[in-house]
Amino acid sequence: MTRPATIVALGDSTTAGTPGFLSPLEAPPCGRGNIESQYACWLQRARADWRVLNRGINGERSDQIRARLERDVLAVRPDAVVILAGVNDVYQGRSAESVQEQLDAMYARGRAAGIAVVAASILPYNTATPEANLAMHAVNGWIGRRAEQERCGFAFCDTRAAVAGPGNIDSLSGSPDGLHPDVDGYRRLAEALLPVLERVLEGDRR
């Protein structure tokens, strides 16, 4: 078992808990809605010795998330950060390369600050075009390769696979709106992230 730790969940709507929950950044100070509609809740339940901070904001692109990295992550001095971003960039027609640039900058800044990084893959949404799915797969493949370049303190988590429907990596297993996971999906996100976080906090991504 790892030691007590502070984890920051950084990202967009799929971190915030949309549509069932408004994060503490969206509805200060504690958030509002069904607390189970966020993976931070399920992580906290699984590991009572962890403090998991939901720092998701619905609708944000990766550049907007990067712009608040200093405030929402570095200022907290957490042990680890989960970075889940890029779907809104793709939705708005931005290139996979532009997403990769923003993610790489966040990964590098977190590691330079001595924070363990879990790089999460972009989640599917049911109305994505074939072009959007290709872009998301390109980013996710890059994230996996990027993680392979690190020796410790950095890990990849295939969160897309965790919430995907049976036999279809490009659809959600369950969703109230076709865009975001349902409560069970958020629980599955936490289940996928938990062992990765435990390993990365010990400095061993394998």
How many domains does one find in the chain? 1
Q: In 3D, which of 25, 33, 20 has the Cα closest to residue 9?
A: 25
Q: Using an 8 Å Cβ cutoff, are 206 and 153 in contact?
A: no
The CATH number assigned to the domain holding 155 equals: 3.40.50.1110
| Assigned token pair, 62 | 């990766």
Query: Where do we find the tokens 């808990």?
Result: 17
| Assigned token pair, 68 | 């608040």
On whether residue 206 sits in a domain, the answer given is: no
Question: In this predicted structure, what is the pLDDT of residue 149?
Answer: 87
28-50 pLDDT per residue, tens:
999 999 999 999 999 999 999 99
Domain containing residue 92? 5-201
205 confidence band (pLDDT: 50, 70, 90): very low
Three-class SS state of 170:
strand
Question: In this predicted structure, what is the pLDDT of residue 79?
Answer: 97
Alpha helices in 7-127 (DSSP H): 13-16, 39-46, 62-67, 69-72, 87-91, 96-112
Q: Using an 8 Å Cβ cutoff, are 152 and 204 in contact?
A: yes
On whether residue 182 sits in a domain, the answer given is: yes
On whether residue 101 sits in a domain, the answer given is: yes
On whether residue 106 sits in a domain, the answer given is: yes
pTM: 0.95
154-192 pLDDT per residue, tens:
999 999 999 999 999 999 999 999 999 999 999 999 999
> Bigger pLDDT: 94 or 152?
94
Element (H, E) at 53: strand 50-56
